[in-house]
Structure formats: C-alpha cells, structure tokens
C-alpha cells in the first residue's frame, strides 16, 4: 500500500529557505553560507539522496564559494545554523564540507520544532536557520514581532496526504478523523489540499488564511484534528488520513515522491501564494 495517497505539486512559494535576522543579509558569514548551499554539490546531493521526496530549487548552482568573501578572514569564525534534522541538517553537511575546504567552521544545531530555530536567530544566538518556507516565516514574524528575512531558497518538500487507517480517500466514512498541522500557513496549506481532493469545501476567498472555521461543506462530517506538525506522522494509526509536512514525513521513513496518495497542484492557490 502506498504511504502517501496525494502529494503537493512542486512550488517555489514553498521552497525551504535560509533565514537570517534583518540587517545580516550581507555579512561575510551569511554570504559564504549562501554560496555553499546554492552549490552544484548540494543540488546533486538532493537529487541523489531523496529520490523526489526533496526537490532542489537552486536555479543556477555554483561551485560553493562567493568571490566577494575573504575566506581567510573567516578561519577563526564559527558559522552556526539551526535546522531540522531531516533533510535540512543532512543537506547542511554538504555545505559544511565545502566551507571546511576553505578552513571555515560550520556548526549545525538541530531542532525538532518550528519555533526555537526562529527565536535563536532573532536573539543572535545563531547566525541563520534552515527549516521553513516564506509563508511560515511571514506568519511567524507577524505573530511574534521578529525580524527575520529569507536570503536563499534551497529546496522544496512535497506536502502530502498520507494513509492512516484508510488506504484511499474513497474509503473515508462518516466521522473519520484527518490530522493536519496546527500552525498558520501549514494549517491553511493542509485545508486547501483537502479541498483540492474534494474532501471538504472552504468558504470562497479564504485562501491562505483558511482555518477549520472556514469549512463550508464537510459531507462526511469529518473530524479535522489540528496538532503540532511534528506529531502527525506518529498518530497515523489513530486517524483515517494524515496531512504531513515533508521533513516530518522523511523522519518517519515516508517518501512523498514515491509513496503519496495525492499532492497539491502546482497551480493551486497555496502553491502560488
């Protein structure tokens, strides 16, 4: 049985980004990190390692180095990055090797949530983070008064509906539970994906502001259960279907590129917002 019944289409809007605090975009440390992540070595690693579960969005991969950076001056500097374990920290290991070849140290700190990585960049504890997409970053800044900006788009993680106790969307029954993320942009992303598949219908025009209160039609009276994104893959045995972020799917051994039941269309509102 396929693990993921529907998978989201590739979209630069949901490219996972390197984020820094506003004002630090052009520091030597950040420019060196951007160049390493936007390298052909990283793009090739993504293609070979993840087989479609992660897709590179690097437009013009380079050699991993920025000609404007004085790497010699960075030899006594440690660049720190907060990242999700999979795939972000794994991808950063490639960048780490490139930087090491110039004598530059990259320290990768892993986190299993979507809040602390932004807080530690905001307070200056770490140089940058790599775990989120721009819609999530924008919502986080608005909700928390933070001042983080995107400086590079690196990869895209397909967002999918995964099989739980039901193996197909057609098998859904009255009152079944579907788990979706509970954070702003990913909640809306999940609801729009459910609407795309004809499972629910949302109020017209709600778009990326959608919440469960905006469900206009729910023919099967499904119970849309919101929970922390990191928890969803682990509760698939207690819900009919689960809408899971790409990195957490990978953590659970799921490959959206090969296991998906259904995916978001690349031309959908959430993919182009």
Judge residue 222's burial from the number of C-beta atoms within 10 Å of its C-beta, 0-12 exposed, 13-18 middle, 19 or more buried: buried
Is the omega angle on the peptide bond into residue 87 within 30 degrees of 0, that is, cis? yes
- Averaged in consecutive runs of 10 residues, what is the pLDDT profile of the chain (273 residues)? 46 82 98 98 95 88 98 96 96 98 98 95 98 92 97 90 96 98 89 95 93 98 96 97 89 83 64 48
DSSP notation for the chain:
--SEEEEPPP-GGGEEEEEEETT-TTSHHHHHHHHHHTBHHHHHHHHHHHTTSSEE--SS-B-S--TTS-GGGGTT-EEEEEE-IIIIIHHHHHHHHHHHTTT-EEEEEE-SSSSHHHHHHHTTSSSEEEEEEHHHHHHHHHHHT--EEEEEEEEE---EEEESS-SSGGG--TT-EEEEE-SHHHHHHHHHHHHHTTS-EEPTT-GGG--GGGEEE-TT--EEEEE-HHHHGGGGGGSSEEEE-HHHHHHTT--HHHH-SEE--TTSHHHH-
Provide the pLDDT for residue 124.
98
Q: Which residues have CB under 8 Å from 87's CB, separation 6+?
A: 46, 49, 50, 53, 54, 155, 157, 247, 250
Whole-structure pTM value: 0.77
Provide the pLDDT for residue 2.
47
Provide the pLDDT for residue 267.
53
Provide the pLDDT for residue 265.
63
Provide the pLDDT for residue 228.
95
């Amino acid at each position: 049985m396929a693990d993921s019944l529907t998978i989201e289409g590739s979209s630069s809007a949901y490219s996972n980004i390197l984020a820094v605090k506003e004002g630090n975009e052009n520091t030597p440390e950040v420019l060196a990190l951007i160049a390493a992540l936007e390298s052909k070595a990283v793009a090739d690693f993504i293609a070979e390692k993840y087989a479609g579960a992660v897709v590179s969005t690097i437009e013009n991969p380079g050699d991993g180095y920025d000609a404007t950076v004085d790497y010699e001056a960075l030899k006594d500097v440690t660049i720190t990055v907060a990242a999700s374990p999979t795939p972000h920290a794994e991808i950063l290991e490639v960048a780490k090797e490139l930087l090491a070849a110039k004598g530059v140290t990259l320290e990768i700190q892993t986190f299993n949530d979507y809040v602390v990585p932004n807080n530690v960049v905001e307070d200056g504890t770490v140089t940058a983070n790599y775990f989120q997409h721009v819609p999530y970053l924008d919502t986080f800044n608005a909700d928390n008064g933070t001042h983080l900006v995107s400086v590079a788009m690196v990869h895209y993680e397909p967002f999918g509906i995964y099989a739980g106790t039901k193996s197909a969307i057609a098998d859904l029954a009255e009152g079944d539970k579907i788990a979706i993320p509970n954070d702003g942009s990913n909640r809306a992303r999940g609801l729009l994906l459910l609407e795309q598949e004809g499972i629910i219908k949302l109020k017209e025009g709600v778009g990326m502001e959608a919440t469960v209160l905006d469900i206009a039609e729910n023919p099967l009276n499904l119970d849309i259960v919101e929970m922390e994104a990191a928890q969803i893959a682990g509760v698939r045995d207690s819900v009919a279907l689960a809408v899971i972020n790409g990195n957490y799917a990978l953590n659970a051994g799921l490959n959206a590129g090969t296991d998906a039941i259904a995916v978001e269309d690349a031309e959908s509102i959430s993919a182009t917002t």
